[in-house]
Amino acid sequence: MFSYDRWLPELPSLASRFRAAEPYPHVVLEQFLEPRLAEACLKEFPARGDKSWKNYTHVNERKFGRSDQGHFPPTLRALIAELNSARFLRWLEALTGIDGLIADDSLMGGGLHQSSSGGFLNVHADFTGHPHHERWRRRVNLLLYLNPSWQEAYGGQLELWDKQMTRPVQTVSPLMNRALIFNTDPDSFHGHPTPMTCPEEFVRRSVALYYFTDEKGSFSARSTEYRARPGDGARAVAIYLDKMVLRSYDKVKRTFRSSDDFASRLLRLLERGRKG
């Protein structure tokens, strides 16, 4: 699924770009997969009406996710297996300079993501530790976009913000077969906070893989840190309150090693009530 013949020779220059990038280490890779494989992944991508999608709809985001890779179509399942393989991890270690990367076969919070018109994801820094592995520290994200004919006017560009949350330093459009790889430090703020304005028939699709290291000593595990933007005004209060609710939920999930299934069902019911 991944062309090592193509990407291995580029590792030295890619690693230099990655580590020098602002506002934090990252790199954007065009035509990440062979075009025919990317098209196959797109063709297999489950429809948004499929009830197996988990609902992530609250103050800080409006999107849907799937992590049940045992039920993924074959090409998408093979892609996940490749990007979680030992060989790819060695490539990723050489790119990022981080040794001992671990793939998350449970795809906790990752897997397949999609959002439609009105979808958004407030600016945040990701959770820092795996909910079910107390020594696993989150280090790297890989996002692969599968959106043909995507236009800038639709929105959905991922913004990479500076550490002080004063401004977005980079924006990455979710174009077909484009991959973004970046470090997930406690201050790696990113998101696409402006609700999308794409036509109803368009969907913003992505494949998300998260990588960890096993920390022998203790480290500070923290839930997702959402932040208001300058100019968000009174909405900043709602963003903060929602973050604190999610922080309590994260503690429950870590304590009982639960999944997001129940929360997803609850959010789906609340969304139906809101629309009703």
Mean pLDDT of the chain: 92
Please tell me the total count of domains within the chain: 1
- What pLDDT is recorded for position 259? 66
- What pLDDT is recorded for position 270? 46
- What pLDDT is recorded for position 267? 54
Q: Given the DSSP bridges, would you call strands 190-192 and 54-58 parallel, antiparallel or unpaired?
A: unpaired
Domain residues for the domain of 135 are 4-275
Average pLDDT over residues 158-169: 98
pLDDT tens figures, 7-27: 999 999 999 999 999 999 999
Q: Are 154 and 115 in contact (CB under 8 A)?
A: no
Within a 10 A sphere around the Cβ of 115, how many other Cβ atoms? 26
Is residue 218 over pLDDT 80? no
Q: Which residue has the tokens 């209060």?
A: 237
What angle, rounded to 10 degrees, do the helices at 86-96 and 11-20 form? 50
Is residue 219 over pLDDT 60? yes
pLDDT tens figures, 39-48: 999 999 999 8
Q: Indicate which CATH number applies to the domain containing 86.
A: 2.60.120.620
Q: Are 63 and 199 in contact (CB under 8 A)?
A: no
- What pLDDT is recorded for position 130? 93
